[in-house]
Amino acid sequence: MSYLIHATSLSIMLSYRHAFHAGNHADVLKHYVLGLVLAHAAQKNKPFWYIDTHAGAGMYSLDDGYATQNREFEQGIDQLLLADNLPEPLVNFVTQIKSFNTDTTTLYPGSPMIAQQHLRPDDKMRLFELHPNDYKILLENFSGARRQAKIEMQDGFAGLKSLLPPTTRRAVVLIDPPYEDKQDYQRVVQVISDSLERFATGTYIVWYPLLQRPEPNEMIDALIALNAPNWLKVKNAATKK
């Protein structure tokens, strides 16, 4: 199978490009947790939707392009690829990542590609990506899966609202904005609040950065104040906060 990977240039209103960060420690933690949640959802014999509000390009090269500028993947997926004695769930994750690679290419999958491997034929994907270049690449990468994956170049926050509740009454939602615009922090709280009203039994995964500034913690406090019945906060072990 061949993938269209992230290319470099475009005049941009949206400055964030996920390719710079592909496979870094935070990406790996997010994708590992995503895989565990989807594997759990797939245990039940009823179809579900996977909704990715900020899907990215779907596949990234670690050999060339943006990822090679800061080589963030060296402190992320490379550490897992080199490690011995990983616990079984992590071995499964590393095996999944390796399955995208050959002897001559080093690719790292984005959340939609990770998710796709967990879906069954009746499960569906709804993907939103606002950057025109990444949208085009994403569309191309899922060209063979048009029946299962619907992809829109639309604001993912608004897109999520329009999908809930899903017809399946089961969904896993990944909300993974760039947070370059500080409003993303409030928009996450707003969209979770709204989603819990529309579809309280959904599973929502929110990625956020750990930064020395107030917005991330304020967002978490506001999310906790929504009183969702069950929630889990996951952090990298090396993180002090």
- Interacting span for ligand SAM (CB under 6 A) from 72-80, 91-99, 129-137, 163-171: 129-137
| Cβ distance to ligand SAM smaller for residue 36 or 44 | 36
Among candidate residues 78, 84, 176, 181, the one labeled active-site is: 176
Q: Which residues of 4-19 are buried (b: 16+ CB within 10 A; e: fewer)?
A: ebbbeeeeeeeebbbb
Task: Please identify which residue in the block is written with the tokens 């909704």.
Answer: 51
Which C-beta is closer to ligand SAM: that of 46 or that of 186?
Answer: 186
Q: Which of residues 81-100 bind ligand SAM (CB under 6 A)?
A: none
As a whole number of angstroms, the distance between CA 95 and CA 118 comes to: 13
Minimum distance from residue 35 beta carbon to ligand SAM (Å): 11
Whether 176 sits among the annotated catalytic residues: the reply is yes
Quick one: which segment of 10-18, 95-103, 139-147, 192-200 binds ligand SAM (CB under 6 A)?
10-18
Residues numbered 157-196 forming contacts with ligand SAM, rule: CB under 6 A: 157, 176-178
At residue 111, what are phi and psi to the nearest 5 degrees? -55, -40
Q: Which of 47, 156, 166, 202 binds ligand SAM (CB under 6 A)?
A: 156
Packing angle between helix 88-98 and helix 25-41, nearest 10 degrees?
Answer: 100
Give me the half-sphere count of Cα atoms (radius 13 Å) on the Cβ side of residue 224.
Answer: 8
In angstroms, what is the minimal distance from the CB of 126 to ligand SAM?
Answer: 12
Residue 110 is a binding residue for ligand SAM (CB under 6 A): yes
Give me the sign of the Cα torsion angle 203, 37, 101, 145. Answer: negative
